[in-house]
Structure 1
Amino acid sequence: MSRPKLLLVYEPEKACLDRLVADGHAPERAGEIASYLAQSTDLAHEFDALAAACLTRGLAFTPVALDDAPAVFAGEDPKTTLVWTLTDGIAYFRGGAAPALARLRGLKTIGADDSLFALCQDKFRSGAVLGGLGLPVPQAGLARNGNWLVEPPASPAGWFVKPNRLGAKIGIWPDSRCNDLGHALDLSRRVFAAYRDDVVVQPYVAGRNVRASFLGLVPDTGVEALGVAFVDSGADFQTMADSMALYGGTGEAAKAAGDYAEPDLLPVADSQPVADAKIRAIAERLMSGLGLRDVFSIDLRVEADDTVHLIEFEVCPGLPCFDFRAYCRQQWDASLADAMADTAVSRLA
């Protein structure tokens, strides 16, 4: 029998950028879109550490660029090969193809099945599914280039406008929270012109931003291993500029200049244990009803009275990002490389 092997499939940031520019996207906008693959760029610096962590556990490690995956998968043994897909995507990004290709070849995978890789990238459709499961997700309208496809519900607090398939929860611009549906339609025109995307228009929900992270280091790990933290950046919501400052080119420049500042992570259970319990119940429902498993994250808003709003789920959380690294340290007392290697070994055991 061949040696057990972990294949980590990633979509390179540069490959995405080049493809988007070739498809006619303005270079600056293409750079913003491709910045969401910065985790692939960041994790590449740790491939040697991952290989060493796997080696000490009797496991081979091979990073695989997405375009090379079909040929690599064809030569692997389904009994001893595990595929971990680093990035999702069905529109601007293409990582959702990797788990489908793995299934086609009969290879084991880490994470949710490929249907959720597609669903999580379409926020309007995923919101409908989450609402059907009885989860507290805001209702949404959908607009394309200034025209309503689905009108949003009334909202005395105003609305929040975000791209449907890009960046999920970010608002792109500071005026993405608006009090006028005419302005929401104008934002949809701007998003369509810049990114060729529809917009989701949801009632604005108050509260603090929360990230719930999960890694099932061993099979059958439950929501007791969920890390639930307020993400306090000082802003009400994340814009494209904020995202670039954390993950994109401006973030790299800030790190080089010593000006990089990560948001504070504060355990929700310390100040709002009732909200923490609600979030764990939501995660349990997502695992049992939707099929999330192995590794995922959830973004929420929590009000002072413990009202919880589910914003989105991610099947490919940003593993090398500050929040997931902190989660691995606090929950599993492990570096990112060791946590990933232990998870892979447990699935191949």
Structure 2
Amino acid sequence: MPNPKPKLILVHEPEKACFGRLVGDGFPSERALEITSYLAQSTDLAPEFDALAAACDRRGLAFAPVELDNAASALAEADPSTTLVWTLTDGIAYFRGGAAPALARLDGLRTIGADDSLFALCQDKFRSGAVLGALGLPVPQAGLARDGKWLVEPPASAAGWFVKPNRLGAKIGIWPDSRVSELDHALELSRRVFACYRDDVVVQPYVAGRNARASFLGLKPDTGVEALGIAFVDSGGDFQTMQDSLALYGETGEAARAAGAYIEPELVAVGDSQPAADARIRRIAERLIQGLGLRDVFSIDLRVEADDTVHLIEFEVCPGLPCFDFRDYCRAQWGLSLADAMAEAAANRLGDGLRRG
């Protein structure tokens, strides 16, 4: 009897399923649409599932995209000796993708990406900031407010503060007035965020600099920080709002592009103009890999000042794979399309496991 073909299972939470659940939970349709827009990488990648299947087949793998609601049964039926699970969409609050790596672990299946504990940590910005600070990383200190009341007061800041949701959207400020000069304004924003999204807000001292992103895909299990793609992401604004985010992905992004309301941000390699900052970001990534356990696929968002001061804003264990920046990274670093890069990483991970098994 022939050996079963190794298989890559890609678990993803569709926008539509999440939208229905949020509306059923009492969110107005407009807010539910905004929230579910963060799952648009499922929408954007779905048209490429055939290309992914073909790329996997060329490398001797089967490919199975599985919607999150079907993941428990699909993973329970999978063969631990020949299966690799890749979780496309994360979440512990509005979204539920963080359950997938936990289910995989429960069923004894290998995964690509960080372990399930980091899926939970990265979605809670206040807690993750505390852990990153304990690791000695340059993350801004933070206060925490809920519906107009301080749970933790923020530190003093001569430059003002930046206000963002704790569990929704990571670094975005939701509204254009999310940089504030008065803490009363921060509390007002916390009331607005709570009313609209039922979330707390993180209030951090405002840090200057250009927005930068470090992208990573470990094509081979021993790939290190030399493979990071580190670029300034210049979109014309100081920070991203909800409206900016809606223009990046999914159906809302398609509409924005069709209407001419979206200009793709420019990517410029940090090392071209600030090699010292590039080196610092690689050391930060190395610390995240060693001290936190990031691996295989992740991204890091940062602010870089002109004097090479680097501020770590957040890390993501489910970076936006179909987004322009990660596609550009796959082409520039690996010379591969997104589908081929994903399939190659999965084949190498499975092959390494099969050899060791």
Band the TM-score falls in, shorter-chain normalisation:
over 0.9
Measure how far apart 1:250 and its partner are: 3.4
CA–CA separation in structure 2 for the residues paired with 1:79 and 1:317: 27
Measure how far apart 1:66 and its partner are: 0.3
Q: In the alignment, what sits opposite 1:209?
A: 211
Measure how far apart 1:255 and its partner are: 2.5
SS at the partner of 1:175? coil
Measure how far apart 1:247 and its partner are: 1.9
Cα deviation, 1:6-30, whole Å, max 9, x if unaligned, reads 0000000000011000000111000
Q: In the alignment, what sits opposite 1:132?
A: 134
Q: Are the aligned partners of 1:3 and 1:59 in contact in 2 as well (CA < 8 Å)? A: yes
Q: Are the aligned partners of 1:32 and 1:248 in contact in 2 as well (CA < 8 Å)? A: no
Pick aligned residue for 2:252 from 250, 253, 256: 250
Pick aligned residue for 1:53 from 22, 31, 55: 55
CA–CA separation in structure 1 for the residues paired with 2:330 and 2:215: 9
Q: Decide whether aligned partners of structure 1 residues 272 and 167 sit closer, same or farther in structure 2, where only a CA change above 3 A counts.
A: same
Cα deviation, 1:78-104, whole Å, max 9, x if unaligned, reads 000000000110000000000000000
* Amino acid in structure 1 at the alignment position of 2:309: T
Measure how far apart 1:252 and its partner are: 1.3
Instruction: Give the structure-2-normalised TM-score.
Output: 0.97
Counterpart check, 1:10 vs 2:15: no
Q: In the alignment, what sits opposite 2:26?
A: 24
Q: In the alignment, what sits opposite 2:124?
A: 122
CA–CA separation in structure 2 for the residues paired with 1:348 and 1:190: 46
Q: In the alignment, what sits opposite 1:326?
A: 328
Q: In the alignment, what sits opposite 2:109?
A: 107
Q: In the alignment, what sits opposite 1:283?
A: 285
Measure how far apart 1:259 and its partner are: 4.8
Give runs of ≥4 in structure 1 deviating > 2 Å.
254-260
SS at the partner of 2:177? helix
Q: In the alignment, what sits opposite 1:147?
A: 149
Measure how far apart 1:152 and its partner are: 0.1
Q: In the alignment, what sits opposite 2:274?
A: 272
Measure how far apart 1:60 and its partner are: 0.2
SS at the partner of 2:299? strand
CA–CA separation in structure 2 for the residues paired with 1:251 and 1:61: 27
Pick aligned residue for 1:162 from 161, 164, 167: 164
Pick aligned residue for 2:183 from 178, 181, 184: 181
Q: In the alignment, what sits opposite 2:225?
A: 223
CA–CA separation in structure 1 for the residues paired with 2:251 and 2:81: 40
Q: Unaligned regions of 5+ residues in structure 2, if any?
A: 352-357
Identity %: 81
CA–CA separation in structure 2 for the residues paired with 1:196 and 1:287: 32
Cα deviation, 1:259-293, whole Å, max 9, x if unaligned, reads 53210000000000000000000000000000000
SS at the partner of 1:24? coil
Q: Unaligned regions of 5+ residues in structure 1, if any?
A: none
Pick aligned residue for 2:93 from 91, 94, 100: 91
Measure how far apart 1:136 and its partner are: 0.1
Q: In the alignment, what sits opposite 1:70?
A: 72
CA–CA separation in structure 2 for the residues paired with 1:146 and 1:255: 36
Q: CA RMSD in A?
A: 0.8
Measure how far apart 1:258 and its partner are: 5.0
Pick aligned residue for 1:33 from 25, 30, 35: 35
CA–CA separation in structure 2 for the residues paired with 1:282 and 1:318: 21
Q: Are the aligned partners of 1:171 and 1:237 in contact in 2 as well (CA < 8 Å)? A: yes
SS at the partner of 1:174? coil
Counterpart check, 1:306 vs 2:308: yes
Tell me the number of residue pairs that the alignment of Structure 1 and Structure 2 aligns: 349
* Amino acid in structure 1 at the alignment position of 2:243: A
SS at the partner of 1:270? helix
CA–CA separation in structure 1 for the residues paired with 2:163 and 2:299: 22
Q: Are the aligned partners of 1:188 and 1:198 in contact in 2 as well (CA < 8 Å)? A: yes
Measure how far apart 1:106 and its partner are: 0.3
